[in-house]
Amino acid sequence: MTTAISISEERPAFRNLSGMDWALVLSALVLAAIGVATVHSASAEMPIDYLPRQALWVGLGILFMAVAGAINYRTLVDLALPVYLMGLGLLVLVLIAGEVGGGARSWLEFGGVGAQPGELAKLTTALFLARYLAGVNKRYLGVKELAVAGLIVAAPMVLLALQPDLGSAAMFVPMVAGMVIVAGLRWRFLAIAALVVVAAGAGVWSFGMQDYQRQRVFTFLNPESDPLGAGYQVQQSKIAVGSGELAGKGYMQGTQSQLRFLPARHTDFIFAVLAEEWGFLGSIAVLGLYAVFLINALRIGMRARERVAVLLVVGLVSLVAFHVLYNTAMVVGLVPITGIPLPFLSYGGSFTLLNFAIVGILVGVDVRRYVNA
Amino acid sequence: MQVQRQYREDLTGRVRVLTVLVAVALVIVGGGFWFVQLVQGSHYRELAENNRLRRMAVRAPRGLIYDHEGRLMVENAPSYDLLLDRSRTRDLEASLEFASRVLGRPVEELRKNLEAGQGQPASHPVPIGRSLTLPQVARFSAVALERPEFEIDVRHLRLYRHGPQVAHLIGYLGEVSEADLERAQAEAAAAEGDDAESRYRMGDLIGKKGIELTYDDLLRGERGERAVVVDSRGNLIQEYGRIDSDPGEPLRLTLDLPLQQAAERVMRDKVGAVVALDPRDGAVRAMVSSPSYDPNLFARGIRAAEWKELLEHENDPLQNRAIQNQHSPGSVFKIVMAAAGLSEGLITPSTTVHCSGGTVIYGRLFKCWKAGGHGTVSLNRAIAQSCNVYFYHLGRELGIERIAKWSRAFGLGEKSGIELDGEIPGLVPDPEWSLRTRKHQWFPGETISVSIGQGAISVTPIQIARAVAAIANGGTLVTPHLVEGATAATERVPVDDRVLELVRQGMASVMQPGGTAYYRSHIPGFDYAGKTGTVQVVGGRTGDSNDLPWKLRNHAWFVSFGPVEEPRLVVVVLNEHGGSGSSGAAPIAKELYEEFFEVGDRAPDAVPSGRPAGRVASAPARPAPPQPAEPAATASAGTD
């Protein structure tokens, strides 16, 4: 009996590096380098310079990328369930024994080094979900499959929301949406799913959100109403971005950043620093780099021979794409402000490692797409 | 196979759709950047260049402080500061010169203040001069156009209406220190992330001592904020939005201001402390420590010379003698001894002892203060006339362990729990303490000294007030407090009220004819009770202590409660080097009872009594040249 999982029983094998997608890896590396440089500029009026740390994270990230690429993704898929459970386990552990940082109990510390299991959970969930969805032997997903997919994703989301880290929890939504749509969704299910999301959103709005979070949405709709809080942030961001005009003010010459008007400029608003210093030309160039990255990543998904590979790629890329699109849109005032960082540019340890690991997995999937015929 | 290829084509097709979606979204975002950076670019550049958008703090008025009947004691008065915006001046030196000329302060001083604001961005105005006069304010306002780098800021400073009269209680404010700033920043970061604003900012004034310190969080409220748009000269065009500040909470103290002022007036030329509290709940009605200082000096920023003067003053005005200074209690301790003896069953009201002016115990002569002795005395007379010999014998029977136990039962040797900083616990000695601290055993002869409140035992005025309150209210150790509604934690003293009744009667007899405090301190028509105490500073001398140099004179104690039926006030007076308790301390308490209850000379229809006023021993106006510090009391009451 053949299954829809793979065309042959043999495991995909590694061929050679010449088939590797260099554009993907290079664009990621260039973005990371730009990130380190921009973080340095953003750190200028801060108590410490974040450049050495971010450089360290990038270095470690490259290591992670190599390791993730070297591991045969099929091995990961086979281990998907225990890995997924381990991810959940770590999330539970951090609720009990974790350290608080940035308002949420999201860190686990081992002898001075800390990591956020939330980021790992995104990987493990994508893996397990890909495996589950790949095993569905139907053209279109039915209610039962959608429900199971929802549950697989709901578990880590709830654990993250308890930290409370609603931002990270929400990131699972684009990931599962991308995977489910690609796996096959009838239009009417899409409509139902949309309704469910709206209903869940209403529920989250009324019961899950705190006042300041609701206020952020109101402020987005009318920035004039809260010029001191989130309204201030978006206004300052637009001033920084807009004042860059065509060619920017020059490296480390961004007045809004240097004069400390822009909050969170080494993390969520890093793109505003870049836009101020490199202008429209710089913004478009970096957006172009992201385009190269994302489109190449998706093409890996189109090339992949196995259903599980396709779904895994789609899930991970949806995650990264959503971060990129939302963060850049937020910086320029198109969407409400939330704590969504920018892959490869924003300062952050676990987040940088996650993104590089994703690149590694993508490359790993790609070079193994040839099967011994 | 066919099916699978179909599936795969479906899959690939959908991924292609996803790719298109992502590309479109990127283009939309790119469009957003085009709009903000190119279309609106010049508008934002203008906003950026002129630093037109600013966030300014709205200060919260600090809570006012009242006495228990609502009399205002501490308020906020406006004060004007000069600020310099470094990003607005082309010639910093010239600006400093100009400011120096107008203010009449040296340029170096202004420059030093400017450097203190180094860590802030250049466009943040830095205060370089405080407490400007109105003419100076006018001068800077007049040149505002030519000199946009100057700003005038109004702050409200604490005004302590009664200055030195309430200094030790209220405390004062000071600028927040580096350590405070760091700690608050760490707390905020842990709660809300690295970006969070701490509740302190550089230049904030916070309570440093006293009530201002203990209740600082309540009094300071929360600062507000407003976003403003300013023009290129820094003038306000538009207020963008405002979060109002949350004013500090007002505080109602338990203090009775007229009583406090009366106490301070009497103590002004003396060194010592007065504590007056309500024995029913521990509410403090007055607390005075003398010499005092003017906390308004701190409110406007104390100058180095003034601070130095306070620190070097011989009698340490910054110390709150009511809670931070301990002395041997002297004969005042006999009331605790009496309660101990009765409770342990060693004495009864009718037990008698014969006093002939001294007694020999352990082969040593311990003297009584009355040369010929008191004759045969029972408890009531022993208290009323403060006979030492009675208590020497009682002390020998009790032994130091039981004396220590009962002292602690009455709250001695531990902090009273009043909500002020710096309280010390005093000392109740016992053999274990002796071995641990003095590295030698406790000598039996020392017990005899302790029996009359000399020797190693030492108490603070507030502690002994608490003990007297327990005697007056029937055995409850209350927690002295200054704020209405503060915790009312109480402890029971394990003593029968009949025992306390006997002690109370003894103390009432002190104020009757024959008692040590009758002559100078009794109030016709108002019955109160007390106990005098005289603590020798230098042992072994005879003759009038008033003949000695001030620093060698005895300390005068007096503890009391009144009225005898249903006591509402406990008054404790410590007059350092004031001579005997009956001449140096009791008359002070008398004045306070008169003030509080409007009796005696303060009664509405008072006729001057014609009694000799009684000279209250006081410190000379200028204390004698500095002498090496004397211990508070010496070990024995009589050597030879």
Residue A255 has a pLDDT of: 63
| Minimal CA separation from B24 to chain A, in Å | 10
* CA proximity to B123, closest of B199, B43, B228, B234: B234
- What confidence tens digit (pLDDT) does each residue in B450-461 have? 999 999 999 999
- What confidence tens digit (pLDDT) does each residue in A85-135 have? 999 998 888 888 877 766 667 777 766 667 788 888 999 999 999 999 888
* CA proximity to A58, closest of A366, A320, A354, A261: A354
Contact list in B for residue A307 (CB cut-off 8 A) is: 7-8, 11
Nearest to B44 among A102, A184, A238 (CB): A238
Contact state of B29 with A259 under an 8 Å Cβ cutoff:
no
Contact list in A for residue B197 (CB cut-off 8 A) is: none
| Minimal CA separation from B301 to chain A, in Å | 30
B34, A280 contact by CB (below 8 A) = yes
**pLDDT > 70 fraction of chain B, expressed in percent and rounded:** 86
- What confidence tens digit (pLDDT) does each residue in A304-341 have? 888 888 999 999 999 999 999 999 998 888 887 777 88
Preferred mutation among B33, B44, B182 to probe A, highest tally of A CBs within 10 A: B33
B34 interface with A at CB cutoff 8 Å = yes
Other CB atoms within a 10 A radius of the CB of residue A30 amount to: 15
For B279, counting Cβ atoms within 10 Å of its Cβ (0-12 exposed, 13-18 middle, 19+ buried), the class is buried
The angle subtended at Cα A255 by Cα A253 and Cα A257, nearest 5°, is: 95
Contact state of B241 with A139 under an 8 Å Cβ cutoff:
no
How many Cβ pairs within 8 Å bridge chains A and B? 169
Preferred mutation among A190, A243, A299, A303 to probe B, highest tally of B CBs within 10 A: A243
Residue B458 has a pLDDT of: 94
List, as ranges, residues 190-219 from B with C-beta within 8 Å of A: 190-195
| Minimal CA separation from A296 to chain B, in Å | 9
Contact state of A325 with B30 under an 8 Å Cβ cutoff:
no
Residue B49 has a pLDDT of: 66
Pick the more confident residue, A223 or B441: B441
Q: What 3-state class would DSSP assign to B601?
A: helix
pLDDT band at B566; cut points 50, 70, 90: very high
Residues 6+ positions from B408 with CB-CB distance below 8 Å: B414, B428
Preferred mutation among A138, A239, A257, A260 to probe B, highest tally of B CBs within 10 A: A239
Other CB atoms within a 10 A radius of the CB of residue B99 amount to: 23
Residue B637 has a pLDDT of: 38
Contact list in B for residue A243 (CB cut-off 8 A) is: 41, 44-45, 47-49
Residue B619 has a pLDDT of: 42
Residue B633 has a pLDDT of: 38
Nearest CA in chain B to A3: B4
pLDDT band at A16; cut points 50, 70, 90: low
Nearest CA in chain A to B196: A102
* CA proximity to B224, closest of B243, B241, B199, B239: B243
Residue A278 has pLDDT above 50, yes or no: yes
Domain annotation for chain B: domains and CATH numbers: 56-172+208-252 (3.90.1310.10), 257-602 (3.40.710.10)
Q: Which residues pair with B364 in a beta bridge?
A: B361
Contact state of A232 with B26 under an 8 Å Cβ cutoff:
no
| Measured CA distances, B417 to B55, B286, B332, B492 (Å) | 43, 16, 22, 15
Residue B625 has pLDDT above 70, yes or no: no
List, as ranges, residues 122-151 from B with C-beta within 8 Å of A: 122-123
Residue B577 has pLDDT above 60, yes or no: yes
Nearest to A325 among B15, B26, B241 (CB): B26
Residue B552 has a pLDDT of: 80
Contact state of A242 with B36 under an 8 Å Cβ cutoff:
yes
Residue B157 has pLDDT above 60, yes or no: yes
Average pLDDT over residues B119-134: 77
Contact state of A298 with B22 under an 8 Å Cβ cutoff:
yes
Pick the more confident residue, B53 or B340: B340
Contact state of B44 with A261 under an 8 Å Cβ cutoff:
no
Preferred mutation among B20, B22, B202 to probe A, highest tally of A CBs within 10 A: B22
Contact list in B for residue A260 (CB cut-off 8 A) is: 121
| Minimal CA separation from A174 to chain B, in Å | 12
B336/B301 Cα distance (integer angstroms): 46
Nearest CA in chain B to A322: B22
Main-chain dihedrals φ then ψ at residue B459, nearest 5 degrees: -135, 160
Main-chain dihedrals φ then ψ at residue B616, nearest 5 degrees: -85, 125
Contact state of B23 with A7 under an 8 Å Cβ cutoff:
no
Sign of the alpha-carbon torsion through A204, A210, A213, A219: positive
Residue with tokens 């009775």: B256
Residue A8 has pLDDT above 60, yes or no: no
- β-bridge pairing B150-160 and B272-277: unpaired
- What confidence tens digit (pLDDT) does each residue in A45-56 have? 666 778 888 899
Least-confidence region, from A216-225, A343-352, B260-269, B562-571: A216-225
**Average pLDDT score over chain A:** 81
Nearest to B15 among A182, A240, A334 (CB): A182
* CA proximity to A327, closest of B137, B29, B380: B29
Nearest CA in chain A to B2: A4
Contact list in A for residue B32 (CB cut-off 8 A) is: 328-329, 332-334
B619/B546 Cα distance (integer angstroms): 11
Task: Quote the tokens at residue B59.
Answer: 């200060």
**Average pLDDT score over chain B:** 84
Instruction: Delimit the domains of chain A by residue range.
Output: 28-70+211-373, 74-209
Nearest CA in chain A to B190: A101
| Measured CA distances, B455 to A28, B310, B327, B539, B541 (Å) | 82, 31, 10, 11, 16
Q: Which residues pair with B229 in a beta bridge?
A: B53, B238
Residues 6+ positions from B160 with CB-CB distance below 8 Å: B73, B74, B166, B167, B170, B172, B294, B295, B296, B299
Contact list in A for residue B55 (CB cut-off 8 A) is: 228, 232
Least-confidence region, from A155-164, A303-312, B178-187, B442-451: B178-187
- What confidence tens digit (pLDDT) does each residue in A162-221 have? 887 777 888 888 898 888 888 887 777 777 777 777 777 777 767 666 666 666 666 666
B127/B359 Cα distance (integer angstroms): 71
The angle subtended at Cα A159 by Cα A158 and Cα A160, nearest 5°, is: 90
B48/A349 Cα distance (integer angstroms): 32
Least-confidence region, from B100-114, B257-271, B418-432, B606-620: B606-620
